[in-house]
Structure 1
Amino acid sequence: MFKQMEIIGQFNLGFIIAKLNSDLFMIDQHATDEKYNFEMLQQHTVLQGQKLIAPQKLHLTAVSESVLIENLEIFRKNGFEFLVDEDAQVMERVKLVSLPTSKNWTFGPGDVEELIFMLNDSPGVMCRPSRVRQMFASRACRKSVMIGTALSVSEMKKLLFHMGEIEHPWNCPHGRPTMRHLVNLEIVSKD
């Protein structure tokens, strides 16, 4: 219903005041833009891997090794690549050959283990290790509209439209609420 909201204006160069029917809402312009940018990074970014000089043995259980092998594409999208030797002994079939790198962020076997743990609960579901999520949250924050920025009505509408395009628009990646219900105007007018 974000597309149906009427823009009332901007408050304190940080909040959009919008109306839907008789309800008035205050939307945090930075948190809203940050959440949208974060979701787009999560969905569309394929991290590039850095090849290792020599393949690295992973000390995985048989179950963890199977989870990894069944989800190689998810690992690839997260920047991890493996050499899989189907003829090797169970628990020795997988070697790490590439790790994701991104500017000052480095990753390692601990991130592989975390991703295996996540995929054990949700097989085949695209997920990201917590450190990748932190990196995306940091990038989303830096590229988002800042508090103190004056916005035109069309820029405010764009932010609201973006809220309607993402799955969970209610909080920024750091947990800050993106919007608050201020008041129902019918209740105010009755008093």
Structure 2
Amino acid sequence: MFKEMQIIGQFNLGFIITKLRSDLFMVDQHATDEKYNFEMLQQHTVLKGQRLIAPQNLHLPAVSETILIENLEIFKKNGFDFLIDEDAPVMERVKLVSLPTSKNWTFGPSDIEELIFMLSDCPGVMCRPSRVRQMFASRACRKSVMIGTALNTGEMKKLVVHMGEIEQPWNCPHGRPTMRHLANLDIISQD
């Protein structure tokens, strides 16, 4: 229903006031843009891997090894690459050949373990290690509309419409709410 919201204006160079039928809402322009940018990074970024000089044996327990092998595409999107030797003994079938790196962020075996743990609960579902999420949150914050920035009606409308294009528009990646209900005009006019 975000597309249906009418833009009333900007308050204090940080909040967009919107109206949906009889309800007024206040939208945090930075938190909203940050959440949208974060979700876009989460969905569309394929991390580049840095090849290792020599492949590393991982010595994973059998269950973890199987989870990793069954979810190679998700690991690849996170910048990890492996050599799989089906003929090797269990716990020695997987060798790490590439780790993700991105500017000053480096990742390692603990991130692989975290991904395996996440995928054991939700096999086949695209997920990111917490440190990748932190990196995306940091990048999303820096590229988002800042508090103190004057916006025209079109820019405000774009931010509000974007909220309807993501799955969880209610909080920024750092937990700050993106919007608050201000008032119902029907109730105010009755008083």
Q: Normalising by structure 2, what TM-score?
A: 0.99
The residue aligned with 1:168 is 168
**Is the Cα–Cα contact under 8 Å of residues 79 and 100 in structure 2 kept in the other structure?**
yes
The residue aligned with 1:5 is 5
The residue aligned with 1:189 is 189
Q: What is the RMSD of the two structures over their aligned residues, measured on CA atoms? A: 0.4
Rounded Cα–Cα distance in structure 2 between residues aligned with 1:173 and 1:89: 42
The residue aligned with 1:139 is 139
SS at match of 2:24: strand
Residue 93 of structure 2 corresponds to residue 76 of structure 1: no
**Across the two proteins, how many residue pairs are aligned to each other?**
191
Q: Normalising by structure 1, what TM-score?
A: 0.99
Residue 41 of structure 2 corresponds to residue 19 of structure 1: no
**Aligned ranges for residues 1-191 of structure 1 at < 5 Å?**
1-191=1-191
Q: List 4+ stretches of structure 1 deviating above 2 A.
A: none
Rounded Cα–Cα distance in structure 2 between residues aligned with 1:150 and 1:59: 55
SS at match of 1:69: helix
Rounded Cα–Cα distance in structure 2 between residues aligned with 1:57 and 1:145: 44
Rounded Cα–Cα distance in structure 2 between residues aligned with 1:135 and 1:76: 17
Rounded Cα–Cα distance in structure 1 between residues aligned with 2:7 and 2:161: 12
Share of identical aligned residues, percent? 85
Question: Which amino acid in structure 1 is aligned with residue 81 of structure 2?
Answer: E
Rounded Cα–Cα distance in structure 2 between residues aligned with 1:160 and 1:27: 8
Unaligned runs of 5+ in 1: none
